[in-house]
Amino acid sequence: MVKVNPFYADLLPSYLFRDMGNKAREVKEKNPDAKIISLGIGDVSRHIPNTSIKAMQNALTEMADDSTMRGYPPELGYAFLREAIAKNDYQDFGIDISVDEVFVSDGSKCDVANVQELFAADCVVAIPDPVYPVYRDSNIMAGRKIVYLPCRAENNFMPEMPKEKVDVIYLCSPNNPTGAVASKEQLKAFVDYASKNDALIIFDSAYKEFVRDKSVPKSIYEIAGAKKVAIETRSFSKTAGFTGVRCAYMVVPKELSGLNAMWIRRTSTKFNGVSYIVQKGAEAVFSDEGKKEVAEVISYYLENAKIIKKGLEEIGFKCFGGDNAPYIWADISKTGLSSWGFFEKLLSRAFVICTPGSGFGKCGEGFMRFSALGKREDALEAIMRIKDLKEKGEI
């Protein structure tokens, strides 16, 4: 038997969504006629914008002709998409990001998991708690020391500053799971910390399109000095319904001594690029029509968020997030149930799935994550069922 990576033994043994799925299957087996509604997993329910679909259909047609077909894509992304990203997502907002700092990928999950390959094995990594688990698990697999930064209601769920020197800090805004957004001042404090301590920030803004409040930064590069200390990841998944077709990008500024060149080296060694068809679909998101379609879909999800948040608040749950994010973070501690207990109660008695906060870290205990990325009718129905359960005194 081969000698295995010993650090895998440090991972939690099971995976949150698999456990939730197993429990949902058990309930369905016992109640075959029940319609289970999921406000759990963060997948989207609205289709890809028509503009992108047409662009992908045209690209596919090009593949059907020897004179226009494309083979391997460039590993770092086609110039047309890198240019569209640099212009539409940065330069048009007065942020100086150039094409050769933008790297197209097949998903932010891969980017945030792979980026740690650039750091030394003995780097100390700071990770918020609760957190999107990929930051944590990818660093555990590499055997790094992790320092957790608690996120609490008193601090609007922004991570506390590291109390010891750390080398890398992961931040996510709008946040999964809490729905919190970082203000300019809060991001500046992290940029200042990173500048003073020679640390690097990985800023995940997969949900940036949900930010409607103009005072909330969508990019860490809105903060002066951030290009010297931060990498940023973004995704077409939640904004343009690309969870199934896969496209994202990462910005690695040239100011980050050597990291831009290292990322090019790593990516051209390990990745063969995102398909032409998908990149054409992503490019179309930046057309006038594409932007309009995306804005409409985001408004739909934000309206779902409003419905879920209002409904939960009406029955006495204190809720956070949901205003500039598709997630509502509900405080269920007063029910006396643990977050898994609340999950089981809602699933078995209301046939509604939401995500136990403790699955995102210790500080998530006592909270539930509700996703607004589903269908409107499901959000309305789920809230009705939860209210009913409350009236019966079960939660």
260 binds ligand PLP (CB under 6 A): no
What region, left, alpha or beta, does residue 361 occupy, with left being phi > 0 and alpha being psi -120 to 50 degrees?
A: left
Residue of 38, 52, 235, 355 interacting with ligand PLP (CB under 6 A) = 235
Nearest to 222 by CA among 96, 323, 128, 99: 96
Residue 151 or 248 having the CB closest to ligand PLP: 248
Nearest to 200 by CA among 233, 234, 152, 174: 233
CB of 108 to ligand PLP, least distance (A): 4
How much helix, strand and coil, in percent to the nearest 5, is found in the chain? 45, 15, 40
Stretch that binds ligand PLP, among 7-15, 106-114, 191-199, 379-387 (CB under 6 A): 106-114
For the record, the structure tokens of 87 come out as 């212009």
358 binds ligand PLP (CB under 6 A): no
Write out the binding residues for ligand PLP, residues 140-179 only, by CB under 6 A.
172, 176
193 binds ligand PLP (CB under 6 A): no
For the record, the structure tokens of 313 come out as 């608040």
For the record, the structure tokens of 82 come out as 């890198």
343 binds ligand PLP (CB under 6 A): no
Q: Give me the count of residues in the chain.
A: 395
CB of 26 to ligand PLP, least distance (A): 25
Please name the helix (run of DSSP H) or strand (run of DSSP E) that holds residue 390, with its range, or none: helix 376-391
102 binds ligand PLP (CB under 6 A): no
Residue 132 or 286 having the CB closest to ligand PLP: 132
CA distance 144 to 77: 30
Residue of 40, 42, 73, 361 interacting with ligand PLP (CB under 6 A) = 42
CB of 359 to ligand PLP, least distance (A): 13
CA distance 261 to 287: 30
CB of 395 to ligand PLP, least distance (A): 26
Residue of 38, 116, 237, 358 interacting with ligand PLP (CB under 6 A) = 237
Stretch that binds ligand PLP, among 44-52, 58-66, 101-109, 334-342 (CB under 6 A): 101-109
Residue 172 or 223 having the CB closest to ligand PLP: 172
Sorted by sequence, the CB contacts under 8 Å of residue 336 that are 6+ apart come out as none
3-state secondary structure of 336: coil
Stretch that binds ligand PLP, among 65-73, 108-116, 342-350, 381-389 (CB under 6 A): 108-116
Write out the binding residues for ligand PLP, residues 278-307 only, by CB under 6 A.
none
Nearest to 305 by CA among 262, 366, 214, 369: 369
355 binds ligand PLP (CB under 6 A): no
275 binds ligand PLP (CB under 6 A): no
114 binds ligand PLP (CB under 6 A): no
In this structure, the number of other CB atoms found within 10 A of the CB of residue 74 comes to 16
Angle between helices 288-314 and 376-391 (to 10 degrees): 10
Is there a cis peptide before residue 356, judged by omega within 30 degrees of 0?
no
CA distance 61 to 392: 57
Residue 248 or 259 having the CB closest to ligand PLP: 248
CA distance 267 to 288: 31
The single-letter DSSP state of residue 145 is: E
Residue 276 or 327 having the CB closest to ligand PLP: 327
Nearest to 42 by CA among 206, 160, 200, 202: 206
Residue 156 or 338 having the CB closest to ligand PLP: 156
CB of 307 to ligand PLP, least distance (A): 21
Write out the binding residues for ligand PLP, residues 205-224 only, by CB under 6 A.
206
Residue 323 or 395 having the CB closest to ligand PLP: 323
248 binds ligand PLP (CB under 6 A): yes
Nearest to 111 by CA among 194, 232, 265: 232
CB of 393 to ligand PLP, least distance (A): 34
For the record, the structure tokens of 234 come out as 């973004």
Binding region for ligand PLP (CB under 6 A): 42, 107-109, 112, 132, 172, 176, 204, 206, 235, 237, 243, 248
